[in-house]
Structure 1
Amino acid sequence: MTAISTRGLLIALIATAVGLGALASAQPYGSGEPNTTPIELRVWQSLDDPTDIAIGARAPGGAWGELGMVCLRLDDGFTAGGHYRYGQTALEVPLMDFAPVGVEVRVWQAINVPHVIYVSARGVGGSWDLLGTFRFRLDHGVRPDLGYRFGDMRIEVELPEPQVITLAGSAGERGYVDGVGRDARFRSTPPGAMGLDVDAEGNVIVADYSNDAIRRIARDGTVTTIAGGNGSGLRDGPADVAQFAGPTDVAVAPDGTIYVAQARNDHIRKITPDGVVTTVAGNGSLEVNLDPARARDGPAGEAIFFQMKAIALGPDGDLYILENSRIRRLSPSGWVSTVAGGPRVGFVDGRGPSARFGSLTDIAVDARGALYVLESNIWVSGRADWYEIVRKIDANGVVRTLFRDPLPHAGGRLAYPEALTVGPGGDIYISNTAHNQIVRLTPAGEVNAVAGSAEVGSGDGQYGTAEFSRPGALALAPDGALIVADQEGTVVRAILPGPDGLRTGAQLVEVGVLPRLEGVRVTRFAGSGSSLGGLRGDGGPADKAYFRGVRGIALDPAGNVLVADDGNHAVRRISTDGTISTLAGGNGEGVRDGPRDLAQFTRPLRVAVDAEGVIYVLEDAYRRVRRIAPDGTVSTLAGAQMTNIRSIATEPDGSLLFPRAGGILRRAPDGSISTLVAGSGAVSAIAVDGEGSVFYTVDEHFAGTLKVLSPTGEASTVLDAWSGTGRAQLSPSVTGIAIAPDGSVYLADPGFGRVLRLDRSGALAIVADRAFAGSQRGSPNSIVVPPEGDLLVSDAWQHVIWKITIDEDAGR
């Protein structure tokens, strides 16, 4: 490493690096001195052309390849005497636990002696005079394979005082460890299960769901277990022997009493300041209530809850309990009552039980006792789409909608939010989870971003540069800091207030809407639209037939359309002349093999056909695979009953592919099972093109990603989960993929209720959405491209198959 002497002062360029992991976690939140970090710089010079200069940079321990070799053209200017020319560039250097830091590098080169190099460097916004300009010898190494020599140096770059810091935990590292800052470990799965609150002294109290423990984070980042952690159970008593079963949220009273929502068997527990745990609501049974109609009000010890999600304390000591579709209240006297909502789901404002809620996710209470609830991904009748909703419940139990926004694919600003809290001025802070930001909803209905760059990451930093990953639970600390459960329940962060409190500090993710194809015509290809006729219609035209939940469709080698008729437990066939018949099954629900007219199926979900005309049927109920031979004999495929199978596809060699949670399995013609794709998210849809390339969709961060595996085994991403404009292009639940002869990829996306086309140029457009069904609830499920080029799309909600014709000349 090089040391730089400037103005007689020897500035050592960091022989040893300060560990970046301690930058923020060791500070008490709300205070701390500015930090610095070492940055390593590398200057490259071509062995053949000394005027060919490149720059590299990394944090200590990082990889030079992350930024690569950045070409630096020495064309920014000359010295006054004309003996040197120089070039300047700026690099954003990734750091381990902090937002990327900007570094500017200036290289001077003697015109007549190009091997003579001078260098100056600074952090963005810093002074060139700090280090000055010094002779730099490129003698640290040679890369003959690249044709470059290089020299290395380190500079110390000042980091801005962080406004978003990590209090405890390490991003993505799950475990159960008490400790300080990033040495501590939490295990709150599934994502969104970590609840938290702040006590009067600023300690953060955490419901650590999977560890069955209640943890405390002191202001200096020290994590301790204050109750539980002794296995799952309902045992009361001293905190160190008490047991919890899936604590999902906490609420702290002014006197330090901690209330705990225990989600696994729907009880409310209490931890007194002297460390005694008692059960204060719930009937004492470990049995899980699976029926919302069984929920019961009354004395706390006899009350029954359903899908308890979150809790919040009111100013009068009432504890409000959020369930899936209703809000309950536990009074200080020990009585449980329903404030609003009930077992029936929906979207209806009103008073008390007359109001309806869908999927409630969080609750907060303001200083006057008004309740605020968050609902995510709610179907709104009359709007033909899904919405994110914030509603308010006043002291009289009247529910009204404060804010309603469609999902991002339709231009909405909120993306699967998981949590909210309310500030003293009426601002509502929301974890905009899929956009990796914390936003504020003002009393005027405006949405702006408080913190988060919207990039997935864990770096601390300024409001606009800090990174989040699936932020969840929120709580306001006494000093105005906003505490955030982050990194899918493995980290607790703090957003520190400025002199004027928490204000707009980041750029709100901009959203957009995909273009629509012109010249699209939709007609009904098969199905009458009624599900009440059983198998009626066989032997006649397909558009007069009855289906009951038509699901998967496929083409056989002759061009016939095969249909998985879910509710009729049958496989139907539509011939090329439009006549429909029952190919196999339709004899009631069952698992009977044998001749096709006697065989039984149990809810056929998907169908696939190989080159020989053998039909494979994936059953929904048990994920069993059945085989229909060309002669009509039905058999059960040995060794092909696997868990979490989502679909089925065939390869040219006769192998079967099964997408599942975590990857794709392959069953070879000899019956052997192997893993084709491993380590991915849940794979929901799959298709194989004529060349043997495998296209599949993966659930990644609330959205679908389209990937392809080439015949040689090379994997690549065709369509990212998020477009970069805040718009999820695919939902996590894509169920159909079809490859057209021209290479275009068509996708059936019931989650967003639309059919999309990705053409060979990479242009993505909407072919048709829910409106094509003539109903708000059209649900495209499976898709094929017949030889004539039209699309056929099954609609599970409408019990029909749609034909979509695209006039490629329209709009030109």
Structure 2
Amino acid sequence: MPPHTIKVKISCYNYSKLISMKRWFSTCLVIILLLGTTSLFAQNYIATLAGNGLQSYSGDGGPATNAQLSGALAVRGDAVGNIYIVDGSNYRLRKVDASTGIITTIAGNGVQGSSGDGGPAVNAAITGGAICIDHSGNIYITDSNRIRKIDATTGLINTFAGTGISGYSGDGGAAISAAFNNLCGLFADTAGNIYICDGGNNAVRKIDHLSNIITTVAGNSIASFSGDGGPAISAALNGPVAVCLDNAGNMYIADNSNRRVRKVPAATVKISTFAGTGGYGVGAGDGGPAVNAVIPSVFDIWADGAGAVFIADYVHTIRKIQGGIINTIAGNAGQGYNGDSIAAVSAQLHYPGSVYADVAGNIFIGDNWNHRIRKISTWGTISTFAGGAPMSFAGDGGPCADAELNLPMNIAVSPANDIYVSDYSNNRIRKINAAGTITTIAGGGSAVSGFGGDGGAATNATLYHPRGISLDAAGNIYFADSRNFRVRKIDAATGTISTVAGNGSSMISGDGLPATDAAIWMPSAVCVDETGNLYIAAGNTVRAISAATSIISTIAGTGGIGYSGDGGPPALATFGEIAGMCRDGNGDLYICDSRFNVVRKISFATGTINTVAGNGYVLTTIEMGNYFYSGGYSGDGGPATDAKLNVPWGIFVDPAETLYIADGSNNMIRTVTADGIIHAFAGNTIPGFNGDGGLATNARLNWPTAMCMKQGSLLIADCGNNRIRKITNPTAVNNVETTIHFSIVPNPSTGLITITTDHNTKFNTIDIYNIVGQKIFHSEEITSPLKMDISNEPTGIYIVSASYGGSSTTQKFVIAR
């Protein structure tokens, strides 16, 4: 089958505001290496259709509260009270002066990358991640499997540790020659030693301040939970994301995927669990021993000088452990933003990813999706310390490729081929007409959050984080106004907006009542059937509104959190959190459960629910009898129900009954064909933006969230990149008769490998790439088996791409010594 080509509309090198959430999953729930075959199938090509990818960045030289920040907001301070902010999606490091409150950029030129060593830090390209500041004021920042250092005196940036190649090596040698895998957290102790969370290697490592020699101080590299009571270096961690030391030198580790904080006392160097049971829940355990508390996702930790340990819990809370007792000190009001100058416990946060306490006792929070640094004073009042200026919005009335989107969360297409986009953080619904012009059709402008406007023009209405979107046969638009706890409708004929479900209460109630009298918790997805019945995904339930009566009822989910019920009635099933939903041509519903990493199908013909993709990935059974589920990536080329997904966010079914899954934290689109086999379709697990004009499987996506079809082309909401991407005339499977399968043994290896096809045929080509995409081997017309020696290459992940007879397949292998 010939390649499908398209015209590239625009290209830009910026990441996303959703990098914060991406880091939650892709650094904390560690990317599991795919060691099976991944078929490329048809050669689908990708391009940008809408959105220029620009982020919100402004305010340098003025008060920090007037600045624009954009996601992934790590925050730390120095000895004199200056605050440093990793402005992640703007690829900059910014500083707020302690005496003036003025914000400036001190590193990063706004271009994603890792370059500029030896020059001024402000001219360098950085990707950015975690930071720490040593006692001399030098700044260290994680950057693409490197640690870079900004000299406090000269302002020059240089690589301090790491080769930039993914792997796990270097212990006992110079840190500059070490290999890391997904660096997450940094900490500088009082002596100047640097501690590193090497997340993908499930280890904490240390660089000695005198010798620059690197060693592992915790973790045995196995992603699991074990070792309490024994030496820290023999223990199993699972996606550690942050590390800190208290004044006594005791080390605390945010063992994220184990949902625990681990402690390594300086005196014994033996590890134990300091907080968390490993179970699920939100805020469970407050007022009691921290070891009995449930911590859904510990994303950052900090120990102050008074013996307290603070936890940034990514489910919108900050918790404090003092004397072994845990309590929530900020964020009890749920996710969102409800203002400042109120008690911190009454405030709303939105995915806080960082926490830091200064010597005066003030607490600083990287409030990621609110694009702010928040501050809790010593008397418990919260305020905005930096950020808070309106976010990016531009382009109405012009070409869609030049527009600025701000987390395009969902997309839909009308029969007239107009595209509708829920522009989440701009609080708008936008329309791209057939000519490619973008306009706002709902939302009041300036990214104002709130509720208002029913009964009037939708363009004058106020929305609050719109998500799912769907059209009925008449062209009326329904969307989930998620933070208003409502579903709203834009009348196709008049442009008037109204509420069709939800009373604004953040609860789940009202079955048997008119839908507008019901309480709907955080609706995420909507779809309308041919007769006008409306289906709403809300929390862990699916509810339906009868077109005939407007009465609402629950058709799936008991309201309890879990993963159960397959083979039985949907109403008796349990879910974790439903992020996406769609209908197929038979009227059946498909549901993405982002918490338990599965896609499930409700068959109305049989009245049953079943899993169609994802294995749920049960890691272990913890002490309290709960199950620990985590995401991963595996299974391409095999049954979809055996595959690992990682926060599936959106689902679409084409007329051929092929399922397209937006595998959010894997940064991929995956397909499930009619035979139940799952395939990689677009993206390559690495978050970012590139690849326009090339193969979709070689492109980088950043947290894709939704898909739809327009005139045979697949549109993708590349949410983290603030773009709509397009694959013209996609083909889910290759129509050529020859399909190539091959094996690599041993895997892992020391570099001596044998590549063998299952039919002992020839390869037309074999190419081998390292993890950063550099080709290290190429050969043509090779007879199987092929024995190779690449032991001169460093340890790490490698990709073999083999072709034969028009079919191309890739497979990953690992060099480990």
Q: Which has the higher strand share?
A: 1
More helix by share: 2
**Which protein has the larger Cα radius of gyration, Structure 1 or Structure 2?**
1
Whose relative contact order is higher, 1 or 2, with alpha carbons under 8 Å and at least 6 apart? 2
Structure-2-length-normalised TM-score: 0.46
